[in-house]
Amino acid sequence: MDVLRGRYQKLPEVRSKVVRVFISSTFSDTLSERDSLIDTVFPKLKDYCREKYGLEFQVLLSHRYGSRPTAATIPATLFEQLYQIVSSNVDLQKDAQLLTQWYQKDTNCVPPAYILRPISSILPNIKSKDSDEMKQASKEWTIINNHIRTCLRQAATTCFEQGQISKSDYDDFFISVTEKEIVNGILSASDVNQRTLCFLREIDDIQNHLSDNKASKFIDVNYSDDGKPIIDQEAEQLLNNLKNTRIPNVLQKNNIFSYKVHWTLDGINRRDHAEYIDRFNNDFYNAIKQQIDSCVKSRVTIVSNPLQHEVLEHAIQCKTYVAKFHGRTDVLDKLGKYINNDKENRPCIVYGASGCGKTSVLAKAATKVCI
């Protein structure tokens, strides 16, 4: 009865009908697995989980550590610490000039930050309609970008070793976008073992095939002075630390699935690695299904009465609408007089343009006037 009277302060939790699945991985080296999940596993899960809670996060990792872009935004205090390290070294004056040229302080940010300038503001030919000019500008930016990234990492290392910056600030210049997703989705999450799975794939002989055309899509590589591909040792070390230390320290063993496959000239694909893909699909489906079942059992289930469930849904929406409601006292006063007038039998119509707040006004009236 409290809900029917607009008293929404103590509402029970409503059972969700949405299963949210978030896959975090590097893209090019896990394309076959992603396609297989979309074609084979997700339709089965959709049928199974239509009215149940689902996982919030799953991870798929192989040999690629992921993109480690140059920082686009750096807090002002941090940037100035890094710049002090660079500018105080007589051998790094060109690096200091490069940082000054490409980063601009934005005092409108709170707190202030240094923002990486648009490439075209310094290399306008990056937008040239002439393909040769655009390619040349792109090559120039690649060199500059690598130089800036290396400079910032070296300065961050020095600052961290001297105790001037935190481990978190240091990591921002080194770890990949994928690892940042994993940190937010796994390493910093609560009840992680009830909601998270990790899938690790090992290509046990890819190191012997770095010259293959598709190898660079499956492992992070650099190139030697003579143009030969070599493993990016820094990325490899960070990836191994993530796979072998950071994730196992948080996830229990039965939440981590490991696979070993052999390399082929076409990389990892659904034709040459059909057995592995089938095993991966089955593990993925069964593990998520088990976690969904466990999650549903741990939730407070609303009674099965559909009318009560419908009323409760409206009450929760009402609470959401009025959470940030302000003003409209004139309209609310009119609605209040109408509702409290026992002699008024005419219908009341609240009308207005789309988006003007009709639903919010009615929700506020239900909580303020009808109690």
Domain count for the chain: 3
pLDDT at 292 over 90: no
* Per-residue pLDDT tens over the stretch 294-338: 876 765 454 556 677 677 777 777 777 887 788 888 888 888 888
150 touches 165 (CB < 8 A): no
**What residue type is assigned to position 190 of the chain?**
S
Confidence of residue 57 (pLDDT cuts 50, 70, 90): very low
pLDDT at 55 over 50: no
H-only helix segments in the chain = 31-36, 42-48, 76-87, 93-102, 119-122, 131-161, 167-171, 177-182, 192-195, 233-241, 274-298, 306-322, 329-340, 358-368
* Per-residue pLDDT tens over the stretch 182-214: 777 676 777 788 888 899 999 988 989 999 989
Range of the domain at 253: 23-67+176-298
| 228-to-214, 217, 263 alpha-carbon distances in Å | 14, 16, 19
User: Is residue 27 in some structural domain?
Assistant: yes
Please state the φ and ψ torsions of residue 343, each to the nearest 5 degrees: -90, -5
User: Is residue 92 in some structural domain?
Assistant: yes
H helix count then E strand count, the chain: 14, 9
pLDDT at 3 over 70: no
Domain final residue pick, 263, 298, 333: 298
pLDDT on residue 103: 96
Residue 215, by phi and psi: left (phi above 0), alpha (psi -120 to 50) or beta?
alpha
- Mean pLDDT computed over every residue of the chain: 84
Closest C-alpha among 201, 154, 149, 205 to residue 176: 149
Confidence of residue 127 (pLDDT cuts 50, 70, 90): very high
Closest C-alpha among 292, 52, 290, 59 to residue 197: 59
Which uninterrupted H or E stretch holds 201? strand 196-203
Confidence of residue 356 (pLDDT cuts 50, 70, 90): confident
Residue 219 sits in the same domain as residue 357 = no
User: Is residue 329 in some structural domain?
Assistant: yes
Residue 82 sits in the same domain as residue 59 = no
Residue 38 sits in the same domain as residue 92 = no
User: Is residue 145 in some structural domain?
Assistant: yes
Residue 52 sits in the same domain as residue 158 = no
Closest C-alpha among 63, 55, 17, 31 to residue 284: 55
Residue 62 sits in the same domain as residue 192 = yes
| 354-to-202, 351, 366 alpha-carbon distances in Å | 54, 9, 20
Residue 191 sits in the same domain as residue 54 = yes
Unique residue bearing structure tokens 């607009």: 6
Radius of gyration for the chain, computed over Cα atoms and rounded to the nearest angstrom? 28
Residue 213 sits in the same domain as residue 284 = yes
Least confident piece of the model among 40-49, 115-124, 126-135, 270-279: 40-49
Range 137-150 average pLDDT = 92
pLDDT at 371 over 60: no
Residue 280 sits in the same domain as residue 318 = no
Residue 113 sits in the same domain as residue 198 = no
Residue 315 sits in the same domain as residue 239 = no
pLDDT on residue 235: 87
User: Is residue 18 in some structural domain?
Assistant: no
Least confident piece of the model among 124-138, 203-217, 226-240, 307-321: 307-321
Residue 122 sits in the same domain as residue 194 = no
User: Is residue 33 in some structural domain?
Assistant: yes
Domain final residue pick, 139, 171, 203: 171
pLDDT on residue 102: 96
77 touches 111 (CB < 8 A): yes
Closest C-alpha among 321, 312, 329, 326 to residue 369: 329
Range 337-362 average pLDDT = 87
pLDDT on residue 254: 92
DSSP 20: -
Residue 63 sits in the same domain as residue 201 = yes
Query: pLDDT higher for 255 or 304?
Result: 255
pLDDT on residue 149: 92
User: Is residue 51 in some structural domain?
Assistant: yes
Closest C-alpha among 144, 186, 138, 155 to residue 74: 155
Query: Which residues have a Cβ under 8 Å from the Cβ of 371 and sit 6 or more positions away?
Result: 5, 6, 7
188 touches 203 (CB < 8 A): no
Query: Which residues have a Cβ under 8 Å from the Cβ of 336 and sit 6 or more positions away?
Result: 365, 368, 369
On the 0-12 / 13-18 / 19+ scale of CB atoms within 10 A, 263 is buried
* Per-residue pLDDT tens over the stretch 58-111: 555 556 667 788 999 999 999 999 999 999 999 999 999 999 999 999 999 999
- Contacts of 318-321 with CB under 8 Å at 24 or more apart are 318/6, 318/8, 318/363, 318/366, 318/367, 319/8, 319/11, 319/367, 321/359, 321/360, 321/363, 321/364
pLDDT on residue 5: 58
Domain final residue pick, 117, 145, 171: 171
Cis peptide before 111 (omega within 30 of 0): yes
Task: Give the pairing of strands 256-261 and 103-106.
Answer: unpaired
Range 340-349 average pLDDT = 87
Closest C-alpha among 233, 74, 100 to residue 159: 74
Residue 222, helix vs strand vs coil: strand
pLDDT on residue 18: 63
User: Is residue 198 in some structural domain?
Assistant: yes
